[in-house]
Structure 1
Amino acid sequence: MNGHHDVHSDLHSEAGALPGEHPGRARNPVVKVRDLAWLEFEKPDLDDAEIFARAFGFTTALRTEAELHLRGTDPGSPCVLIRRGVRSRFIGPAFRAADSADLLRLAEVGGSSPAPLPETLSGYAVDLRDPNGLRVRVVADVGVLAELPAQQPLTINTWHDVARVGAVQRPPRAPARVQRLGHVVVQTTRYRQTLDWYLEHLGLIVSDFLYHGGRRERGPVMSFIRCDLGGTPTDHHTLALMLGPADKYVHSAYQVSDLDALAAGGEYLRENGFRRSWGIGRHIQGSQIFDYWRDPDGFMVEHFTDGDLFDNTLEPGWAPMTASGLSQWGPPVTKDFLGLAPVGAALRELRAFATALREDNEFDLHRLRGHLKVANS
Structure 2
Amino acid sequence: MSETHAEAVGASDLGTAHQDLHSEQGALRGEHSGRPRNPVIKVTDLAWLEFQKPDLDRAEVFAHDFGFAIAARTPDALWLRGTFAGSPCVVIRKGRTSRFIGPAFRAAERADLGRLARATGTEVRDVDLPGGGRAVHLLDPSGFPVRVVHYNEDLQALPEQQPLLLNFGTDHRRTNVTQRPPREPARIQRLGHVVLETRVFARALDWYLDTLGMIVSDFLFLDGQRERGPTMAFIRCDRGSLAVDHHTLAMHLGPGNGYVHSAYQVTDLDAIAAGGEYLNERGYKRSWGVGRHILGSQLFDYWRDPDRLMVEHFADGDLFSHDLEPGWAPMSTSGLAQWGPPATRDFLGASPSPARIRDVIQALRGDNEMDPARLLGLLKAANS
Q: Is the structural similarity TM-score above 0.5?
A: yes
Length-normalised TM-score, structure 1: 0.95
Conserved in 2, the CA contact under 8 Å of 1:340 and 1:346? no
- Mark the CA change 1:119 to 1:152 in structure 2 (over 3 Å): closer, same or farther: closer
Distance 1:261 1:114 in 2: 40
Distance 1:353 1:235 in 2: 32
The one of 282, 294, 305 equivalent to 2:304 is: 294
Conserved in 1, the CA contact under 8 Å of 2:87 and 2:151? no
Aligned to 2:359: 352
Q: Secondary structure at the match of 2:174?
A: coil
What letter corresponds to residue 331 of structure 2 in structure 1? M
The Cα offsets for residues 284-312 of structure 1, whole Å up to 9 and x where unpaired, read as: 00000000001111110000000000100
Aligned to 2:378: 371
Distance 2:226 2:202 in 1: 14
Conserved in 2, the CA contact under 8 Å of 1:99 and 1:141? no
Q: Secondary structure at the match of 1:337?
A: helix
The Cα offsets for residues 177-207 of structure 1, whole Å up to 9 and x where unpaired, read as: 0000000001100000000000000000000
Matches within 5 A, 1:1-377: 7-8=16-17, 10=19, 13-15=22-24, 16-118=26-128, 120-341=130-351, 346-377=353-384
- Mark the CA change 1:160 to 1:347 in structure 2 (over 3 Å): closer, same or farther: farther
Conserved in 2, the CA contact under 8 Å of 1:277 and 1:293? yes
- After TM superposition, what 4+ stretches of structure 1 lie above 3 angstroms from structure 2? 5-9, 11-15
Which runs of 5 or more structure 1 residues have no equivalent in the other structure? none
Q: Secondary structure at the match of 1:285?
A: coil
Task: State the 1:217 CA deviation.
Answer: 1.1
Task: State the 1:112 CA deviation.
Answer: 2.4
Deviates more, 1:186-195 or 1:84-93: 84-93
Conserved in 2, the CA contact under 8 Å of 1:121 and 1:143? yes
Deviates more, 1:100-109 or 1:52-61: 100-109
Conserved in 2, the CA contact under 8 Å of 1:211 and 1:321? yes
Conserved in 2, the CA contact under 8 Å of 1:251 and 1:302? yes
Task: State the 1:337 CA deviation.
Answer: 0.5
Conserved in 2, the CA contact under 8 Å of 1:185 and 1:241? yes
- Mark the CA change 1:61 to 1:111 in structure 2 (over 3 Å): closer, same or farther: farther
Conserved in 2, the CA contact under 8 Å of 1:17 and 1:318? yes
Task: State the 1:172 CA deviation.
Answer: 0.8
Task: State the 1:8 CA deviation.
Answer: 4.7
Distance 2:159 2:20 in 1: 34
Q: Secondary structure at the match of 1:356?
A: helix
Conserved in 2, the CA contact under 8 Å of 1:340 and 1:349? no
Task: State the 1:9 CA deviation.
Answer: 5.1
Distance 1:307 1:77 in 2: 21
Which runs of 5 or more structure 2 residues have no equivalent in the other structure? 1-13
Q: Could you say what the CA RMSD is over the residues aligned between the two structures, in angstroms?
A: 1.4
Conserved in 2, the CA contact under 8 Å of 1:225 and 1:238? yes
How high is the sequence identity, in percent, across the aligned residues? 61
Distance 2:328 2:353 in 1: 29
Length-normalised TM-score, structure 2: 0.94
Conserved in 2, the CA contact under 8 Å of 1:41 and 1:81? yes
Task: State the 1:243 CA deviation.
Answer: 0.3
Conserved in 2, the CA contact under 8 Å of 1:205 and 1:225? yes
What letter corresponds to residue 356 of structure 2 in structure 1? E
The Cα offsets for residues 133-152 of structure 1, whole Å up to 9 and x where unpaired, read as: 11100001342111000001
- Mark the CA change 1:165 to 1:14 in structure 2 (over 3 Å): closer, same or farther: farther
Distance 1:363 1:256 in 2: 36
The Cα offsets for residues 327-366 of structure 1, whole Å up to 9 and x where unpaired, read as: 011111001111134xxx6332222111110111001111
Distance 2:117 2:201 in 1: 24
- Mark the CA change 1:164 to 1:93 in structure 2 (over 3 Å): closer, same or farther: same
Task: State the 1:226 CA deviation.
Answer: 0.3
Conserved in 1, the CA contact under 8 Å of 2:131 and 2:151? no
Aligned to 2:3: none
Task: State the 1:6 CA deviation.
Answer: 5.3
- Mark the CA change 1:142 to 1:247 in structure 2 (over 3 Å): closer, same or farther: farther
Distance 1:6 1:152 in 2: 33
Q: Secondary structure at the match of 1:162?
A: coil
Task: State the 1:65 CA deviation.
Answer: 1.2
Q: Secondary structure at the match of 2:260?
A: strand
What letter corresponds to residue 359 of structure 1 in structure 2? G
- Mark the CA change 1:115 to 1:362 in structure 2 (over 3 Å): closer, same or farther: same
